Amino acid sequence: MDVRLNPRSQRLIEQQLSAGRYHSPEEVVATALETLAERESTRCEEQERHQAVQDMLAFASKHHFTLGEGLRIRDLIHEDHKY
């Protein structure tokens, strides 16, 4: 497969080769593609977690779950978690 790169991408590859991090342009591209695949996998996992939290909150709300006086399931979810 022949791939044409824009000048910026070519410079990035050349910088990685010059720094001695990789031995060939193919190695740089392969690593970049692996990183992209990992990022996509992580994004899918995050979406699944987000949906699971939404489902749990909806179920708890529908069935009027309580955790005791003044406690809500939503309050137990870590504040950094986006839901």
CB 78 within 8 A of CB 52: no
Q: Is the pLDDT of residue 81 over 90?
A: no
**Helix ranges (DSSP H) in the chain:** 7-18, 25-62, 73-76
pLDDT in tens, 25-71: 999 999 999 999 999 999 999 999 889 888 888 888 788 777 777 66
Query: Is 37 within the bounds of a domain?
Result: yes
What does the alpha-carbon distance between residue 18 and residue 27 come to, in Å, rounded to a whole number? 13
Total Cβ atoms within 10 A of residue 41: 10
Number of structural domains in the chain: 1
Query: Residue 82: its pLDDT value, please?
Result: 54
pLDDT in tens, 5-30: 999 999 999 999 999 999 999 999 99
Query: Residue 30: its pLDDT value, please?
Result: 96
Query: Is 1 within the bounds of a domain?
Result: no
Residue-number span of the structural domain to which 31 is assigned: 7-76
